[in-house]
Amino acid sequence: MQLYHLLAGLMVVIRAQSRCLTDTPEVNPKRYFYSDGQMLDLRLEVSGRVTHRLATAVFKLFLQEVLGYSSVTIVEEDDHFNITHIVQRLSGPLTSLTVPSSMVNLEVWIAPDTNLIEFTNAYQVKDCGAVAPAGRFGWFVPLPLAYLVPGMDHWRIFADESTASLFSMSDRDFNYVQSFARLSATDKFYCEESFCTTGIFTPTHCNTSCAVLLAGHPGPACSDTVEPLAGVTKHFRTVVISYSAEGSTFSDRSKYPYFFRTIGENTQYKFVYLQLFQKLGWEQVAALTEDGHKYTEYISHTQDLLQANGITFVVNRKFPRDREKASMSKYLQELKNKKVHIIIGDMFDVAVRDVMCQAYNLKMTAQEGYVWFLPQWLAPNWYDTDYYNAHHLENVMCSTTQMIDVS
Ligand SMILES: *[C@@H]1O[C@H](CO)[C@@H](O)[C@H](O)[C@H]1NC(C)=O
Ligand SMILES: *[C@@H]1O[C@H](CO)[C@@H](O)[C@H](O)[C@H]1NC(C)=O
């Protein structure tokens, strides 16, 4: 009996220490989940998806620390997006009163044409509604490939061997791709799972000609992409985390309460510019931005801060996106006439190519003592005018070699 008391005391101490919501009073007495006179743990099911694991971990905390359920466990299950399978698991066998292996699933992906009522009627499972906006699986192909064959804009083409074979690779190309399957500087592959061979997954039925798909990490990167998404999440109460959308608009907490980012917003640049300019003793600067580029309002904030600290903001020039050919030269000449050597340029890749080519022609490059601040999100090969002129119908009158000279 004494031993029992001692154990009970210890458990209370441990639990009190490991509470997460320290500003919520501890719920006492605890709640227990009984079925048929048997005390059960509440079993939450998770898949390998990060979103699923996060939501489940938070829900577990809520059950334990806000509602006071003493025993909640998390059960790992593979998710093959098979609703029948998940519902059957949550329901348990219909013929006997057995406790199901899991009881709650917070993230079941449901196809738009699935009628959940059929499932909830047939099984002992309750549908508690949607927790996130509807998503869809999709194949995304680059525009130049979208018209390769008729019907190219539909997944069906991947199901037909003759059209799928358009995406089949030659041995030479395959070997080339193979060289990227390995993490650089290690002998590990990106895919170390048992279903991958030398870092590449090949389905068993795919031993003839199959489409080769290269997977990437999509995510809301640009402010333009984030804006509609972040706006909608307010209504679905879903968190969106961006690693590179820097527009300061999203700092409006009433408009985007669920938007978070892992980088700073661009209005914070002003402090960096100020400190850098002071350190280097630079006294005047100009800005060149694209009109209609929504996320450049930080330039005006920078202008205010720099001027308040005795640095002259010579000109804050905007140019129209649909500018006339050769007009860029005019804007640069204007900066040159005003004898400004430090230029903050915020514009998209196409305009940057045009601007830097004109800078080359007007001798306004680093070699002539000019300093350009360009966005960090430009494409890695943004300066490759030979490529963009040939493949994207641009006509920037500088060769890639000349552009390399500029940068
Ligand atoms: C989904 O799961 C059910 C029940 O486990 C199974 O009978 C069915 O074959 C599965 N469907 C697919 C497409 O794998
Ligand atoms: C491809 O796989 C199928 C089914 O597994 C098998 O019948 C066939 O012989 C295989 N073909 C080749 C070329 O390996």
Length of the chain equals 407
pLDDT category at 74 given cuts 50, 70, 90 is very high
Cα 343 from Cα 36, distance rounded (Å)? 75
Ligand 2 centroid – CA 202 distance (Å): 13
- Given the DSSP bridges, would you call strands 72-76 and 42-46 parallel, antiparallel or unpaired? parallel
Atom of ligand 1 nearest to the CA of 82: 1
Domain ranges of the chain: 2-122, 143-201, 223-261, 267-406
In this predicted structure, what is the pLDDT of residue 149?
79
pLDDT category at 311 given cuts 50, 70, 90 is very high
Give the tens place of pLDDT for each residue, 16-42: 447 888 888 988 899 999 888 889 999
Would the CB of 84 count as within 6 Å of ligand 1?
A: yes
In this predicted structure, what is the pLDDT of residue 379?
85
Specify whether the CB–CB gap between 75 and 46 falls below 8 A. yes
In this predicted structure, what is the pLDDT of residue 338?
92
Atom of ligand 2 nearest to the CA of 207: 1
Would the CB of 88 count as within 6 Å of ligand 1?
A: yes
What mean pLDDT comes out for the span 313-341?
Answer: 86
Ligand 1 centroid – CA 106 distance (Å): 20
Q: Is the pLDDT of residue 309 over 50?
A: yes
Beta bridge partner(s), residue 192: none
Ligand 2 centroid – CA 205 distance (Å): 7
Give the tens place of pLDDT for each residue, 329-356: 888 999 999 999 999 998 888 889 999 9
Ligand 1 centroid – CA 105 distance (Å): 18
Q: Give the ligand whose atoms come closest to the C-alpha of residue 203.
A: 2
Report residue 399 as tokens. Answer: 């060769």
What mean pLDDT comes out for the span 186-201?
Answer: 83
Ligand 1 centroid – CA 82 distance (Å): 6
Q: Which residue has the higher pLDDT, 375 or 17?
A: 375
Among 161, 207, 208, which is best to mutate for testing ligand 2, by the most ligand atoms less than 8 A from CB?
Answer: 207
Q: Give the ligand whose atoms come closest to the C-alpha of residue 78.
A: 1
- Distances in Å between the Cα of 380 and the Cα atoms of 28, 150, 376, 400 are 58, 33, 9, 13
Q: Give the ligand whose atoms come closest to the C-alpha of residue 91.
A: 1
What's the mean pLDDT when you consider all of the chain? Answer: 82
Percent of the chain clearing pLDDT 90 (strictly above): 31
Give the tens place of pLDDT for each residue, 36-62: 888 999 999 999 988 899 999 999 999
Type and span of the H or E element at 400: helix 400-406
**Which residues fall within 8 angstroms of residue 334, CB to CB, at 6 or more apart?**
315, 317
Burial 286-309 (b: 16+ CB within 10 A, else e): bbbbbeebebbebbebbbebbeee
Q: Is the pLDDT of residue 372 over 60?
A: yes
Report residue 401 as tokens. Answer: 């070699």
| pTM for the structure as a whole | 0.46
Q: Give the ligand whose atoms come closest to the C-alpha of residue 111.
A: 1
pLDDT category at 208 given cuts 50, 70, 90 is low
Assign 280 to helix, strand or coil: helix
In this predicted structure, what is the pLDDT of residue 7?
40
pLDDT category at 164 given cuts 50, 70, 90 is confident
Ligand 2 centroid – CA 81 distance (Å): 27
Q: Whose CA is nearest to atom 1 of ligand 2?
A: 207
Considering the four listed CATH numbers 3.40.50.2300, 3.60.15.10, 3.40.50.720, 3.40.640.10, the one that applies to the domain covering 267-406 is 3.40.50.2300
